[in-house]
Structure 1
């Protein structure tokens, strides 16, 4: 096993060192191996089939793969140099066991990195170029589709890469080139694109149902003093959380009611309590909490269960020197299903955190009785297993839907006795793509009650 660099987790250090820079959040570890090369940028996460967890860190001259499974002893398992050296901005996303990395340097292309050999090594399996594309600023993903944002392709809008048939050799599909797209968030077949520059401060909403023909269906201006860099969308698709990286001061989180896309209504603004000079950057939603990388103010955790009144629940300041108006400090964050949190700091590398409270809470009355697990393996080909639990005899339906919402298969439709259950789903007769499975359990507990839950799965042939 490659075991190049190891460090000991810092959670045993005296509380007085870090206490003044944090609230309700504990630092478990920090690794900073490449600061001499220049500044760090984005981070993302990967959980291997064996359960090991890896933080992926954008470095000035390449990408580091850091095993964070044991937070007492995190270490850099692998490192892959970029074509461009150095780059201020290196971002990545994950599909199956591949990492897809873009950078602002020319030429950087799209690096496709096979992670299935971790913790021993990673393998560069392709560097993708198409047309005049040689670099990208950010990268987004939804299902087997990658979206390259703000590169040098055309005017710097976005274009779609299809991974469904061969993740190593993407197929270019459609593009949207009305304006520059600094970053985007894709929910099913809807793109929310941040037009940070021109027109100044728009969020464009784009229908991507037909991946070869992207079309604008709505837009709104992220007023006042807009400069939207990044966006997150609530699970119910009713609220948008938009970050202003440029524009007026303070650089705010703005929350919008988008239940009517043609009439978005701003309902709240937020910045860290007592701090008006730090710049907000990237945000990720996890349950009721929004994780905001807030540059010089560090990583902030905001309870947005009431989007009209966001409240800070926790923070850790990765850049304690000051809260100045600068692009130093925390760049991005990623939350694992284990509720470990990683964050990247431009100067000090990758951090691993936990909050002092659980991030996802289920209805106790329901959670005691029922659960629907994530299918495994996922992605799968062609058979996957779905586990579920019934503590009370129930009438159960378990149905599979495609991304358009069309019912494609019914696995269970009948009475099922209480207990821990599992069922296999065979996708041999289905095409590659994203599917959703929904379980509804109806039972008697004095009165008739219903439990319903859905999960996403990916068939990759």
Structure 2
């Protein structure tokens, strides 16, 4: 395990560590570096034979956090507000048959679930039902259903516009199938795009990146088997292909995610490690000119494992890397062609070979700093960055919004009055300390703080992660 700088050690000592800290390269029997182990629910606990995708939901009413995990036979919902003692609340069974593939995304307090199972379509589940589960685990029913397609490999949602993009269906040649979900209980078909090969996965954003030609447009970045596909989907009735990005030694362009400045698109090829013998390879595209994407550089990790799903939070790239587990890669110097692994938690201790076992996906967007890993063989893991391994037993008492924030952030409480708020940077330095007259809501000016990750401590007890854009 890497040595911790003295100032970091002081920072950590100020708080209680997580349940099983990463010490000498091990946490809870799993290899690690800088990531603490909080808890695990096995496949047996979840009543399934295999696991797949994962996502998360934070209840805006009380700030409680919930993990959602795709399983062979449905989607599981887990209360992780106490991450050391997660509560399996229940399962939404598959709409038709069991399947190796299931995918979930969230919009406006609803979960949208698709699967490769024949005739499955899209299930809609009201997540607010999780607030009052009397005798968990419950067997849930779907609240709405969309049958405009049958099997589906993946679902993408642009939360800013209220549109879902189902990819890998039998419609539109496997290209994105548009669904208006602005009224979640009444999904409406909205067209599709068939102009550029089968789409395996995608990210859709309201574009505010460096290419002024597309400012304010809704842009889809697709991982389309042998290429990156960039499509303007603003006009659902007339989507326009913009460009393709190609790279060498292509085997299966699987999934990608934009950096937060939208200058780079980081993708993984799912079969290149086994076909060409690379160590875990990540391809970084420069997409600053959407009409002319090109390979900026390639990064190879330290193991032979196959990469699967990756997501960006600030200057970190969270990569689920099958048999190598979760890998966190520093992308702060991506402009100069430099990336480096800084932390990991290996959910598959046996080996790091190029096979399809271990970590399928990761969800790193909880404000608490809790990270969810869904493992094909071992179920649901909850882990946390060692530097954020803080005692957060009252995580449900306070809600923070927005998060990420820019100039102001509001802290609200349903019961416990807010008397003090402290903010620390990642070096453990206190950058803000404010006292209040014990109110239930406070609006805090953070405009003087630089963009990055911080830890907010409320009433000298509860800790939250705060991201500043």
**TM-score normalised by L of structure 1:** 0.73
Instruction: Return the alpha-carbon distance in structure 2 between the equivalents of residues 332 and 37 of structure 1.
Output: 17
> Which residue in the other structure is 2:189 paired with?
172
Correspondence for 1:86: 98
Measure, in 2, the Cα distance between the counterparts of 1:62 and 1:259.
39
After superposition, the Cα gap between the structure-2 partners of 1:450 and 1:195, relative to the gap in structure 1 and judged at 3 Å, is closer
Asked if residue 160 in structure 1 is aligned to residue 160 in structure 2, the reply is: no
Structure 1 match to 2:324? 297
Determine if contact 1:67/1:119 at 8 Å carries over to the other structure.
Answer: no
Give the SS at the match of 1:117.
helix
- Give, in whole Å, the separation in 1 of the partners of 2:27 and 2:36: 12
Q: CA deviation at 1:118?
A: 1.1
8 Å Cα contact 2:172/2:192 also seen in 1:
no
- Structure 1: any 5+ residue segments left out of the alignment? 1-8, 360-369, 378-388, 390-417, 421-438, 442-448, 454-461
Describe the SS at the equivalent of 2:291: helix
Q: Is the 8 A contact 1:31 1:75 kept in 2?
A: no
Q: Which residue of 1 aligns with 2:228?
A: 203
- Once the two structures are TM-superposed, the CA of residue 171 in structure 1 deviates from its matched residue by 1.3
| Contact 2:22–2:37 (8 Å) recurs in 1 | no
Partner secondary structure for residue 41 of structure 1? strand
Tell me, yes or no, if the aligned pair for 2:43 and 2:49 is still in contact at 8 Å. Answer: no
Taking the aligned partners of 1:94 and 1:45, their CA distance within structure 2 comes to 8
**Cα separation, 2, equivalents of 1:30 and 1:173:** 40
1:117 is matched with 129
Distance 1:450 1:72 in 2: 31
- Give the Cα–Cα distance (whole angstroms) in 2 for the partners of residues 339 and 452 of structure 1: 17
Indicate the SS of the match to 1:124. coil
Match of 1:346 among 362, 376, 379: 376
Distance 1:450 1:82 in 2: 46
More helix per residue? 2
Instruction: Go from structure 1 to structure 2 and tell me whether the alpha carbon gap of 1:12 and 1:309 turns closer, same or farther (over 3 Å shift).
Output: closer
Determine the structure 2 residue equivalent to 1:129. 147
**Structure 2 CA distance for partners of 1:209 and 1:376, relative to 1, 3 Å:** farther
> Shift in Å at residue 33 of structure 1?
3.9
Q: 2:31 aligns to what? A: 21
Give the structure 1 partner of residue 403 of structure 2.
Answer: none
Partner in structure 1 of residue 213 of structure 2: none
Question: Over residues 381-426 of structure 1, what are the superposed CA-to-partner deviations in whole Å (9 max), with x where a residue is unaligned?
Answer: xxxxxxxx9xxxxxxxxxxxxxxxxxxxxxxxxxxxx999xxxxxx
Cα distance change, pair 373–228 in 1 and its aligned pair in 2 (3 A): same
RMSD, matched Cα: 3.3
Superposed counterparts of 1:352-363, under 5 Å: 352-357=382-387
Deviation track 1:226-245 (CA, whole Å, cap 9, x = no partner) reads 42110100111101101101
Aligned to 1:259: 288
Find the residue that maps to 1:263 and give its secondary structure.
coil
- Provide closer, same or farther for how the CA distance between residues 97 and 375 of structure 1 changes in structure 2, counting only shifts above 3 A: farther
Q: Normalized against structure 2, the TM-score is what? A: 0.72
Shift of 1:95: 0.6
Structure 1 residue 267: deviation in Å?
A: 2.5
Q: Could you say what secondary structure the match of 1:184 adopts?
A: strand
Of 56, 71, 89, which aligns to 1:45?
A: 56
- Report SS of the residue matched to 1:332: strand
Q: For 2:204, which of 161, 169, 186 is the aligned residue?
A: 186
Shift of 1:286: 0.7
Alignment correspondent of 1:139: 155
Measure how far apart 1:264 and its partner are.
2.3
Q: After TM superposition, give the deviation of residue 160 of structure 1 in Å.
A: 1.2
Contact 1:27-1:353 at 8 Å conserved across structures: yes
Q: CA deviation at 1:328?
A: 0.7
Q: Aligned partners of 2:349, 2:342: CA distance in 1, in Å?
A: 19
C-alpha change, 1:19 and 1:303, in structure 2 (3 Å) is farther
Shift in Å, 1:12 = 7.7
Provide the secondary structure at the position in 2 that maps to 1:322.
Answer: coil
Corresponding residue for residue 246 of structure 2: 221
Structure 1 match to 2:306: 279
2:118 maps to which of 106, 128, 149? 106
Task: Report 1 or 2 for greater relative contact order, CA contacts < 8 Å, sequence distance ≥ 6.
Answer: 2
Residue 337 of structure 1: CA displacement?
1.6
SS in 2 for 1:373: strand
Shift of 1:40: 0.4
Residue of structure 1 in register with 2:424 after alignment? none
Alignment correspondent of 1:317: 346
Deviation at 1:451, TM superposition (A): 8.6
**Unaligned segments of structure 2, at least 5 residues:** 1-17, 134-139, 207-217, 390-405, 414-420, 422-433, 437-444, 453-469
CA–CA distance in 1 between the matches of 2:143 and 2:324?
38
CA–CA separation in structure 2 for the residues paired with 1:297 and 1:262: 35
Q: Provide the C-alpha distance between the structure 2 equivalents of 1:79 and 1:68, rounded to a whole number of angstroms.
A: 15
What's the CA shift for 1:163?
1.6
